[in-house]
Amino acid sequence: MDIKKYTALIDGELSQIGFPDSPNQLYDPLRYFLQIGGKRIRPMLTLLGAELFGGTYEKAMSQALSIEVFHNFTLIHDDIMDEAPLRRNFQTIHEKWNRDVAILSGDVLMIKAYQLLGQIEGKLLPDAFALFNKTAIEVCEGQQMDMDFEQRSDVTIDEYIEMIRLKTSVLLGCALEMGAIVAEASSNDRALIYDFGQHIGIAFQIQDDILDLYANPDKFGKQVGGDVIANKKTMLHLTAVQNATKEQLEVLKQLQNEDNVELKVDRTRRLFDQLDIRSLCEARMQEHYDIAMQSLAKIEVEEAQKAKLIGLANFLMNREV
Amino acid sequence: MDIKKYTALIDGELSQIGFPDSPNQLYDPLRYFLQIGGKRIRPMLTLLGAELFGGTYEKAMSQALSIEVFHNFTLIHDDIMDEAPLRRNFQTIHEKWNRDVAILSGDVLMIKAYQLLGQIEGKLLPDAFALFNKTAIEVCEGQQMDMDFEQRSDVTIDEYIEMIRLKTSVLLGCALEMGAIVAEASSNDRALIYDFGQHIGIAFQIQDDILDLYANPDKFGKQVGGDVIANKKTMLHLTAVQNATKEQLEVLKQLQNEDNVELKVDRTRRLFDQLDIRSLCEARMQEHYDIAMQSLAKIEVEEAQKAKLIGLANFLMNREV
């Protein structure tokens, strides 16, 4: 099955998660939010993780949905904290309804994720539950670190990588390992596939930061340079800070206060180009991609079985949006 | 062991729940919030539920803490929604820190509740997990109904009872049944003890509404008539609306706009007394108390085993605060 078919399958299953009619202020927002789409990478990883170890994707479907539903819960609450008006060009829940609705429907969605997780063979539940809980806590820690970093001017690259690891990457590792648990893989294999997912996740997130400034504007769905305009401390920015001369640092600082956004983005890009920031970040991305592939290589299943996962990883690495 | 010893034991265990040092904006609020106290009724019910069916309280401790931690998560998020400045005379988290900290530390506390729940024998986890998830969703539904009711003027007494059942009482039933699960009680006994808890919970909540206006001011920890001043649609208010003549309804409506709070409380009490509201509400409370006791009576354990539970129920029913 190719990636598009998995996405369609997952979208179909998500739309069939039953929510009661009432209280409708609690459940309407969830019906709405789960329909606005997404790449569905996480649940796909769970299905592929199960297949890698000889399980069927059908058997891992509830756990795949659980991970996606949990991810959506984090988006709902993150959107409140970020005061984001839009998510994938749709109004966020706190905008379309209000803050309280977004808090409470987010809460109930997290519990729904646990309910879906629970649809697993009883003997597998303790492991699945422990992995899920550990990951969920880490994701919250990552979100807190992200918010803390906004207030700090001394964030190091290592701290930044640790933040994206927690906020984003552990859930990709968890998604894959969850599939492995359903397929009853060995604990060694479970650790390897988790590691693969985690490092692909870090590489993916660095790629995200690079694309913000270096994407093809014709294909990129968002404004190019959005992170630069918002003075976000991305991998590009932190790498620039680390490599800049005192004079260049001064220029960077001035650019943060530049009101002409076109000028701001262009000059920042020019400065980054002088410092070779794109290559430096791509090298760091490649590092994590390589670690991921080394972990995958150690898993003793037919190489053909790994093809889909490698395909998905390469798709994520070479995307333009 | 008497009730005070259980409370002290639970407080001790709660203070030993380990939270990491960092991110401290995530964990400091939780250390703070779990220390500000509370009646600890829910975890006590879990311990008593386990003992009722021949289990030890030690074996049920993690699950007891899980219920209390979940309860505290709901308080943190409810306080944001209610914009409450104080909880048990301590600043609420969103006041002492900010909204985002209260959302995210609440989220992580809910996950912590699941982690504590997971410290149960593997074979018991599926039942414990299913009960917990179902209850957690109901509690959110109850909170949403409570918020919906603020915007409505046609709330019936039955709807109100259903709201307090979901918002408060199911968690008491769940707490007791969780103890029964740990003690490996039969499904019939589990249903009976749940029912006991649920109806004691409803009776308790009606009692809460009655105490607001009829407590002894010297012993009551809060301002007497707080619900009246805030125009809350409590059991007293809804019963008055149902029994009032057209003229009395008009008086009640005018009183809601009265700025002199002392006058407002006194005149409302006088109107309620004319309508015998206190007795009507106490009768409704007694109904649920009786159903609870009937369920308890059907449980086939030594009557002496039930003494502590009956003691706790009577303590809750006859409290003055």
Residue with tokens 């504007």, as numbered in its chain: A217
Neighbours of B192 (CB within 10 A): 22
Query: What is the Cα A22 distance to its own chain's centre?
Result: 31
Interface contact B72, partner A, CB < 8 A: no
What is the rounded distance in angstroms from the CA atom of residue B39 to the CA atom of residue B42? 8
Neighbours of B208 (CB within 10 A): 18
Whether residue A179 contacts residue A55, with contact meaning beta carbons closer than 8 Å, is answered with yes
Q: What is the residue-wise DSSP string for B239-266?
A: HHHHH--HHHHHHHHHHHT---HHHHHH
Interface contact A240, partner B, CB < 8 A: no
Interface contact A130, partner B, CB < 8 A: yes
pLDDT for res A3: 84
Under an 8 A CB cutoff, do B107 and A140 touch? yes
Residues of A in contact with B144 (CB under 8 A): 23, 25-26, 104
Ranges of beta strands (E only) in A96-196 are none
Please tell me which residue, A253 or A318, carries the higher pLDDT value. Answer: A253
Interface contact B231, partner A, CB < 8 A: no
Secondary structure element (H or E) that encloses residue B90, with its range: strand B90-91
Ranges of beta strands (E only) in chain A are 86-87, 90-91
In sequence order, the β-bridge partners of residue A87 are: A90
Under an 8 A CB cutoff, do B23 and A148 touch? yes
Instruction: Point out the residue among B23, B126, B143 whose CB comes nearest to the CB of A141.
Output: B23
A220's torsion region: left (phi>0), alpha (psi -120 to 50) or beta?
beta
In sequence order, the β-bridge partners of residue A86 are: A91
Average pLDDT value for residue range A30-50: 95
Residue in B closest to A136 by C-alpha: B111
- State the smallest CA–CA distance between residue B77 and chain A in angstroms: 8
Residues of B in contact with A122 (CB under 8 A): 123, 125-126
What is the rounded distance in angstroms from the CA atom of residue B281 to the CA atom of residue B266? 19
pLDDT in tens, B28-58: 999 999 999 889 999 999 999 999 999 999 9
Percentage of chain A surpassing pLDDT 70? 99
Residue with tokens 């079985």, as numbered in its chain: A305
ipTM of the complex as predicted:
0.95
Under an 8 A CB cutoff, do A129 and B133 touch? no
Chains A & B: contacts with CB separation below 8 Å: 107
Residues of A in contact with B111 (CB under 8 A): 110, 133, 136-137, 140
- State the smallest CA–CA distance between residue B118 and chain A in angstroms: 7
pLDDT for res A218: 80
* All structural domains of chain A: 1-140 (1.10.600.10), 186-321 (1.10.600.10)
Q: Check whether the bond before A217 is cis (ω within 30° of 0).
A: no
Token pair listed for A4: 């598009």
- The residue of A25, A114, A116, A165 whose CB has the most chain B CBs within 10 angstroms, and thus the best one to mutate to test that interface, is A114
Residue in B closest to A129 by C-alpha: B118
Average pLDDT value for residue range A142-171: 96
Burial class from Cβ neighbours inside 10 Å (0-12, 13-18, 19+) for residue B90 reads: middle
Residues of A in contact with B148 (CB under 8 A): 23, 25
Q: Is the model's pLDDT at A321 over the cut of 70?
A: no
Closest C-alpha among A152, A282, A110 to residue A208: A282
pLDDT in tens, A230-256: 999 999 999 999 999 999 999 999 999
Q: Is the model's pLDDT at A155 over the cut of 70?
A: yes
The band of B321, judged by pLDDT with boundaries at 50, 70 and 90, is low
Q: Is the model's pLDDT at B1 over the cut of 80?
A: no
Interface contact B63, partner A, CB < 8 A: no
What is the rounded distance in angstroms from the CA atom of residue A122 to the CA atom of residue B311? 37
Under an 8 A CB cutoff, do A129 and B123 touch? no
Average pLDDT value for residue range B296-312: 93
pLDDT for res B222: 75
Average pLDDT value for residue range B188-210: 97
Token pair listed for A43: 């649940």
Closest C-alpha among A76, A282, A292, A283 to residue A165: A292
Average pLDDT value for residue range B278-302: 97
Q: What is the pTM of this model?
A: 0.96
Interface contact A149, partner B, CB < 8 A: no
What is the rounded distance in angstroms from the CA atom of residue B185 to the CA atom of residue B48? 13
What is the rounded distance in angstroms from the CA atom of residue B291 to the CA atom of residue A231? 62
The band of B217, judged by pLDDT with boundaries at 50, 70 and 90, is confident
Under an 8 A CB cutoff, do A126 and B125 touch? yes
Report chain B's terminal Cα–Cα distance, integer Å. Answer: 23
SS3 of B218-244: the string is CCCCCCCCHHHHCCCCCHHHHHHHHHC
Q: Is the model's pLDDT at A117 over the cut of 90?
A: yes
Whether residue A276 contacts residue A1, with contact meaning beta carbons closer than 8 Å, is answered with no
Instruction: Point out the residue among B129, B130, B141 whose CB comes nearest to the CB of A23.
Output: B141
Token pair listed for A186: 């060995």
